[in-house]
Amino acid sequence: MTGFRTILRTVTAVLLIAAAAPVARAQQAPLQDKPFAEHKIVLQLSDNDPRKQGLVLSVTSNLMKHYDPDKVAIEIVAFGPGIELLKPDNPNRKMVESLISQGARFDICLNTVDTLEREHGRRPEFIAAATPVQVGVAQILFLTENGYTLVRP
């Protein structure tokens, strides 16, 4: 009976890992709704400085005005203190949501969210339009390996 339990545990573990793999890959997918994008930019936000938040938003807005919206893919990856931009009470919320409606993507690092939950005993809230990714820096690396140019304003 012990051998059967060991086999059952092993099979269960393999199935759980296999089931989780597509989710992890999906969280690192570059924008698929811009198949004709000629310009791909990833902006890093890892500071809780309102000036840097404003700069990231300004750069995103300017790029979206400069290029045909179908020809530019812009992804903003927020991690560490940078996730403050994506909280519901952030003064820039309307601007973030406007840029998302125009085709920009704002990623939020779940490692940061998990760390804050452990430290403060509750999970921080963030806007529903933010795209959760497991590891913000890994998302940046993934995007740069797939043709995105990294900009850190």
Q: For the purposes of burial, counting CB atoms within 10 Å of the CB of 61, is it exposed (0-12), middle (13-18) or buried (19 or more)?
A: middle
pLDDT tens digits, 100-146: 999 999 999 999 999 999 999 999 999 999 999 999 999 999 999 99
pTM: 0.79
Distance CA 153, CA 116 (A): 25
| Residue 64, C-beta contacts closer than 8 angstroms, at least 6 positions apart | 72, 74, 99, 102, 103, 104
CATH number of 2-151: 3.40.1260.10
Report residue 32's pLDDT band, with 50, 70 and 90 as the boundaries.
low
64 pLDDT more than 90: yes
